[in-house]
A = this chain, B = another copy of it.
C-alpha cells in the first residue's frame, strides 16, 4: 500500500466513523477534502449538495450503500462513487458483528440460558450461517429454515436441524429472522410459544408483521444496523480493510492498463 494518500473522512458523528478516522490516522495524513486524495463519505449515505460540493473528479471517493440514483448523480458530476458495501468480503465480515449483536440481544431479552434453548433461524445466508455456528457453539439446540436443497444439505452437514415449518414457529424459545421478505405474519405469530422472543434482522421493512406482533403480545424486536451499534471499532476496521482491498485493486488495474 502506498503511503502517500491523504484521507478525508466525512460524517464523524457516527461512532464507526470516529473510529475509522482514528484508524486511518495511524498510517496516513488526514485533511479537509480539498487537500485529500481520498474521500470517505458518511454511512448511511445520502448524496447531498453539500457533499457534492466537496468532491472533485481527481478524488477517489468511497461510500457505503449508495443508491443507483446517487451513483448516477455523482457520475454526471464526473465523480465515481466506489461502494464498499457492495463488496462481498465486507458483507461476510459484517455478518459476524450482526450475529454477535443478535446473540447479545437474545441473551439479554430472555430469562433462560442460550445453552439448551431451542432456537430457530430463518434463512441461511451470511448472517444465518454466522448465527447458527455461534449459537451451536454456545450449546443451543439450533434449527434452521432454508428453502434450497443445497442449503438444506449444508444445514445437515453442519449439524443443525432442518426446520420443516409444518409445525410453524411453535416449539422455539427464540426465533431469529434473516430473510428480507414478509414471511412472519399474523398466522405465524399467533402460533408462537408464549414468552418466546422474536428478533428480526432483515432490513426495513423487515420480515415480521410488527403491528400484528404488538396486538398479539409477541415480544418482537427489529434489530437494525447491529455492527455499528455493538462493535463500532471492529466495524471501522472492516470498512478500512475493505477500502484498502479496493485501493489495491484500483492500483493493480491502473498498473495493468499502463503496461
Q: Decide yes or no whether A149 CB sits under 8 A from chain B.
A: yes
Shortest distance between the CB of A158 and any CB in chain B (Å): 8
Count chain A residues whose beta carbon lies closer than 8 angstroms to a beta carbon of B. 45
Q: Mask for A188-223, Cβ within 8 A of B = 1, else 0? A: 000000000000000000000000000000000000
- The stretch that binds B, out of A5-13, A47-55, A60-68, A97-105, is A97-105
Known contacts A116-B234, A130-B157; is-contact A100 B107 (Cβ 8 Å)? yes
Copy number of this protein in the oligomer?
A: 4
> Which residue of chain B has its CB nearest to the CB of A89?
B153
Whether, in the assembled complex, A44 has its beta carbon less than 8 Å from a beta carbon of chain B, the answer is no
Q: Nearest Cβ distance between residue A82 and chain B, in whole angstroms?
A: 14
CB-nearest residue of chain B to A130? B157
- A interface residues (Cβ-Cβ under 8 A, vs B): 15, 19, 87-90, 92-93, 95-97, 100, 103-104, 107-108, 110-116, 130, 133-134, 136-139, 149-150, 152-154, 156-159, 230-234, 245
